[in-house]
Chains A and B, each alone.
Chain A
Amino acid sequence: MRNTIVSLLAVLFGLLAGALLMAVTGHNPFEGYRYLFEGGMRDISRFGDTLATATPLIFTGLSVAFAFRTGLFNIGAAGQMLFGGFCATAVGLTLDLSKPLMLVCTVLAGFLGGALWAFIPGLLKAKFNVHEVVSTIMMNWIAYWTIYYMVPAYFKGEYLETESRQLPDFASLKSPFLSEAFGGSYINLGIFLAVLAVIVIAFIINKTTLGYELKAVGFNRHAAEYAGIGVNRGIIVSMLIAGGLAGLGGVAEFTGNASNIQIGKLPTQGFDGIAVALLANNAPLGVLFAAVFFGLLYSGRGFMNAMTDVPPEIADSIIAIIIYFAATSILIERLVRKLLRIRADKREQSAEKGRES
């Protein structure tokens, strides 16, 4: 409850700061925000786009949050997402199956690809105590260059060097039914997968012995070790799950929102996932809402640009500022606590004065 309030305050401060930037650069903040939110929600199609934008963020946010709950900083969601997405694309372009079977395969491939990419840092941490921040960042670049080589070499589009062939419809998460229901939006089955992931992860964290073990390792590995919990195993399992989630984010992005994989890009959702997790205070349900909020910002930004004189670069800065503030809920919490104390002090002082007089 208290965390929710802090997160909401963080969002509010973010919006205020963004408004300030708009005002300082000579734009009307009310107008700006009106179009920003309209752009993300004005009609069912735009709302669908917002959800679609949020989908990979839900996965990467969950990935970071889950790892963090177990005491690990997964900075490598970008690489895991990329590699997971690549594996899914590779399966989609190679196998020839019916759509339901195919989707199971691509989702599985994406999960395993992401998990593999996180397994390596997990193993390094467990065996050699290599800090995962360093190794996951390295893995990001290994993924980047692996995809850079693999896509043109094996899955090259007919004329284009920089992207893979288009996925056939039966390997895509896109669903004509869903798109039509959302007025032609590019929303796809990924959103259902994401909601499912939120539920599963919340369940694992709160209800299972696995979650109990992993959290214990995360909070206090010495105590976990004392209690006979396999700390190294916990680190590896946790990274596998976190990586798998990020990998699913890749599935949602590359076989759902997009229909091929491009080289030369490290998905930004990997890093945004950190901010999502922070705003959500690492709670799975919170991740869902935080990701949709970020999705709304990203999705509505263009409309704000189009309807007002706010140039794209300022719009980017506004979004960045909102995210900044939103992600600094920890500072907000401190501020709240400080304010409460000052108020308490004042009350005390006035009470004292009352007694004196």
Chain B
Amino acid sequence: MDYVVEMLNIRKEFPGVVANDDITLCLRRGEIHALLGENGAGKSTLMGMLFGMYEPDRGIIKVRGKETIISNPNVANRLGIGMVHQHFKLVSNFTVTENIILGNESRKGLVIDTETASKRIRSISEQYGLNVDPHAKIEDISVGMQQRVEILKMLYRDAEVLILDEPTAVLTPQEIEELGKVMKNLIDEGKSIILITHKLKEIKAVADRCTVIRRGKTIGTVEVSTTSEADMAEMMVGRQVTFKVSKQAAKPADSVLRIDSLTVKNSKKVLGLKDFNLDVRAGEIVGIAGVEGNGQTELVEAITGLRKAESGSILYDGQNIVNWPIRTRIEKGIGHIPEDRQKRGLVLEYSIEENMILEVYQKRPFSKHGLLNKAAIRAYAKRIIESFDVRSGQGATSVTRSLSGGNQQKAIIGREIEQDPMLLIAVQPTRGLDVGSIEYIHKRLIEQRDKGKAVLLVSLELDEIMNISDRIAVVNNGELIGIVQASETSEHELGLMMAGLRGGEVAQ
């Protein structure tokens, strides 16, 4: 068999963890090879070693049949291995050509020879059907196009093997489809691709073979065409999982949250949310669909008080809360499962029990006259830990940092739901969780709805939005594109709306 890359029995240890333990991955010439695993399974570490960012403790790496030591990314480049990172590494006020030749400039005398370079870029672009304009500035082109620039950059440097790290996370469904085509073109031209992902559907759509790793160990390599999604999911998680959530039709009641022409600036001091309107009623789940960075963060932070609203109003239970302090909002029943659990949601140095009272420590029975009541706190934390199955070494007293990401997330969700909020804002509540936990959390969100509470769900996973929500609001570039009934829409329609096309009917 003709392998371009063979990673054999790789082991890599970081202080305290074995990230990779005896992993084997063999990439054939001209195939798309998916690397599947949950967050933290060891995918990035493995690819990091192939790209020369770390060296393996044990095991060997062969490139085109020859054993090699890849000590740094430059070596990887010379061997024809290129990586497209999840977060692009592009200079936004440079042109495509300038970005591609950056660090690899050819000169004509003292002047950088951009002309020859852009000619070559154009021809590569045509060859692979990338359709990139070499003279466009990065800041003017779409995210999908930027990704192609990254791919072009690899091709320009004669990469034979391309590693794509979660390439679809930032794309609309249409762009994902386009990317699929691009990948096929690349394969046809003799390139080989490693696709890092945890999305089964994509693997099914484009990949030839799939290597599944779990907790740093290879579970197996399978032919995608003969393996079902459910089988791959089981390999990834280690047990059987279901995908569909069963729920009753919503019985929405009065409006809990009414947002009127809300405008919010983003961290770059540019308008991130423009003239936004939304209504969330008790007893319904409203999903916010959109590609990352299209105003979701600004919306959520404006409602929770973490960010100042420039103009417009946020009516919560009939009162305009725009100027309320964060604590008042929490006390009045706005719960928030934050997007970034480690940055916002938890004090990692605190124990779980200390984190469980993060928003209620000043209330009885957790404290009295400014003194903490440890017994009450522990009892409260234990309750959450039990009902949300938060697993840790020492129970309530475990340091939160020592918990796995999934358990951290469950602790946050438990904390927020335990407060029984009138309005629960859940941002990416299942990011990085295994399929089983996802199932459980979805159930709890729906339960919350059925109790007559309002839920605002923000997620980048279209499946999640479509499965859980009753209504879906689609955002693009900080603007509300439209609101659709979840039962009446399709992935295709949502995808178009996420790309900014006002195709969907506004259903109210």
Direct contact of A and B (CB under 8 A): yes
CB distance from B402 to the nearest CB of A (A): 15
| Residue in chain A with minimal CB distance to B367 | A209
Within 8 Å by CB of A212, from B304, B305, B346, B372, lies B372
A226 / chain B contacts, CB cutoff of 8 Å: 304, 306, 326, 336, 338, 344-345, 358
Partner of A228, one of B325, B347, B350, B367: B325
CA distance A223 to B359 in the complex (A): 10
Q: Is the CB of A207 within 8 A of B343?
A: no
Q: Give A203-244 as 1s and 0s: 1 = Cβ < 8 Å from B's Cβ atoms.
A: 000011110110110011011111111000000000000000
CB of B428, distance to nearest CB on chain A (Å): 15
Pick from A207, A209, A219, A341: contact of B350, CB under 8 Å: A219
Within 8 Å of chain B (Cβ to Cβ): is A131? no
In whole Å, how far is B423's beta carbon from the nearest beta carbon of chain A? 15
Q: Which of A207, A223, A229 contacts B372 (CB 8 A)?
A: A207
Contact indicator per residue, chain A 334-347, by CB within 8 Å of chain B (1) or not (0) = 00010001000000
B349 within 8 Å of A (CB atoms): yes
State which of B330, B367, B370 has its C-beta within 8 Å of the C-beta of A227: B330
Given that A219-B349, A228-B330 are contacting pairs, would A209 and B371 also be in contact in the complex, using a CB cutoff of 8 Å? Answer: yes
Residues from chain B with Cβ under 8 Å of A209 in the complex: 361-362, 367, 370-372
Closest to B377 in A: A212
Count residues of chain B with CB under 8 A from any CB of chain A.
Answer: 30
> A227 — which chain B residues lie within 8 A by C-beta?
326, 330, 358-359
B327: Cβ under 8 A from any A Cβ: yes
Neighbouring A residues of B362 by C-beta, 8 Å: 209
Is B354 an interface position by the 8 A CB rule?
A: yes
* B314-351 to A contact mask, C-beta < 8 Å, 1/0: 00000000000111111100001010000111111110
**With an 8 A cutoff between CB atoms, is B393 at the interface?**
no
| Cα separation A76 to B327 with both chains bound (whole Å) | 32
Tell me the smallest distance from the CB of B370 to a CB of chain A, in Å.
Answer: 5
Whether A220 touches B343, Cβ cut-off 8 Å, given contacts A207-B372, A208-B370, is: yes
A222 to B370 alpha-carbon distance, docked (Å) = 23
Contact B361 A222 (CB under 8 A): no
User: Within the assembled complex, what's the spacing in Å between the Cα atoms of A212 and B361?
Assistant: 8
Q: Chain A contacts of B15 at CB under 8 A? A: 337, 341
Q: Which residues of B contact A212 (CB under 8 A)?
A: 354, 361, 372
Q: Are B326 and A222 in contact (CB under 8 A)?
A: no
B359: chain A residues at CB < 8 Å are 227-228
Contact A225/B326 with A216-B347, A220-B346, A337-B15 known, Cβ cut-off 8 Å:
yes
Cα(A229)–Cα(B361), bound, Å? 10
A341 contact set on B, CB distance < 8 A: 15
Are A228 and B372 touching (Cβ within 8 A)? no
A225 to B344, CA, bound (A): 8
Residue in chain B with minimal CB distance to A213:
B361
- Near A by CB (< 8 A), chain B positions 80-105 give none
In the bound complex, CA of A224 to CA of B304 (Å): 13
Contact status B343-A222, CB under 8 Å:
yes
Contact, CB under 8 Å: A207 / B371: yes
A337→B15 CA distance, assembly (Å)? 9
In the assembled complex, the CB of A356 is this many whole angstroms from the nearest CB of chain B, namely 16
- Complex contact A220–B370 (CB within 8 A): no
Tell me, in angstroms, the Cα distance from A219 to B331 when the chains sit together.
23
- State in angstroms the CA–CA spacing of A240 and B331 once bound together: 28
| CB-defined contacts of B325 to chain A, threshold 8 Å | 228
Partner of B345, one of A215, A223, A228: A223
Residues from chain B with Cβ under 8 Å of A225 in the complex: 306, 326, 344
CB-defined contacts of B327 to chain A, threshold 8 Å: 228-229
With A208-B371, A225-B306 as contacts: A219 and B336 at CB distance below 8 Å: no
For B124-137 the 0/1 string (1 means CB < 8 A from A) is 00000000000000
Nearest B-chain residue to A228, judged by Cβ: B327
Q: A330 CB to closest chain B CB, in angstroms?
A: 14
- Chain B residues near A213 (CB-CB < 8 A): 361
Among residues 80 to 105 in chain A, which have CB atoms less than 8 Å away from a CB atom of chain B?
none
Closest Cβ of chain B to A240, distance in Å, is 16
Chain B CB within 10 A, most for which of A208, A227, A229, A341? A227
Between-chain CB contacts (< 8 Å), 7 pairs = A223-B345, A223-B346, A225-B326, A225-B344, A226-B345, A228-B325, A228-B328
Given A213-B361, A337-B15, 18 other A-B residues pairs in contact with their CB atoms under 8 A: A209-B367, A209-B371, A215-B350, A219-B347, A220-B343, A222-B343, A223-B346, A225-B306, A225-B344, A226-B306, A226-B336, A226-B344, A226-B345, A228-B305, A228-B326, A228-B329, A228-B359, A229-B327
Closest 6 interchain pairs by CB? A228-B327, A228-B326, A227-B358, A226-B344, A219-B349, A227-B359
Residue positions of A touching B, CB distance < 8 A = 207-210, 212-213, 215-216, 219-220, 222-229, 337, 341
